[in-house]
Amino acid sequence: MNKVKILAVADVHSPRYLEEFVSALANLEPPDVFLFAGDMINRGNAEEYATVLDTIEKTLGSSFPVIGCFGNEEYSEVRKDIISIVGDRMLLLDEKSHILESKGLKIGIVRTQGSLDKATSWQRRNIPSVKGVFERRAKRAASLLKKMKGKVDHRILLMHYSPCLETCEGEDTKAFSWLGSRKFYTVVMEHQPDLVIHGHVHNSIRHEVTIGSTLVRNVSLPAVGSITELSLWEPKTH
């Protein structure tokens, strides 16, 4: 039976956790796809994106696609610079979908930064109508997941913020409003992608939960302490 091997990580915040990232890569084999769930650089330092990709290529090569979404520290004002820096080395776009074909399987990947229940003070100051932005992101993700249903073998929602309280266990429960969004919990419940991959939650002690039939994984490097390895199998029926 065909199996697609996935490596996933978030919150490298290069150069902050770059040394840990290098160590985590050391014992891994090349995947079929490498997924980034945001905050791969620290505080908008766009040039560090090249460092992250160089690190992967030195260790695992470049025979597989790298696909990512933006995190909150890939600041809006530097995202064009990041896209220019990464060039054709990876696929990095926000609120878009992509169909990856690997090992005879079609995998639909929807990418979004996600939303928060409560905007941070910085977001309120710097992002006009941030509440509307968060609502739009959830609706957009729902629409993209719906369009892919029945057209692919597996659907992945790749996001930065958490879609559920459960993978925030270990953080102050009062802080969930700044870690994720109930709007995305509803999206997951209604559309049931096969897999949700997120980051952002550095202090999580529970990295894997199931919402309905959807597996949710927090792949934040500071929380997990390693790069997350996942597999998608060929469905029993097509």
Q: Domains, the chain, ranges and CATH?
A: 3-233 (3.60.21.10)
Calculate the CA 173 to chain-centre distance: 22
The tens digit of pLDDT for each residue in 122-140 reads 788 877 788 888 999 999 9
The tens digit of pLDDT for each residue in 155-203 reads 999 999 999 999 999 998 778 888 999 999 999 999 999 999 999 999 9
Pick from 117, 73, 82, 99: nearest CA to 220: 73
The tens digit of pLDDT for each residue in 35-63 reads 999 999 999 999 999 999 999 999 999 99
- The helix (H) or strand (E) run that includes residue 92 is strand 91-92
Give the pLDDT confidence score for residue 238 in this predicted structure: 38
- The helix (H) or strand (E) run that includes residue 142 is helix 130-148
Share of the chain above pLDDT 70, in %: 98
Name residues whose C-beta falls within 8 Å of residue 94's C-beta, 6 or more positions apart in sequence: 69, 70, 79, 111, 112, 113
Bridging pattern class, strands 208-211 and 214-218 = antiparallel
Give the pLDDT confidence score for residue 1 in this predicted structure: 67
Longest dimension (CA), the chain: 52
Output the pTM of the full model.
0.95
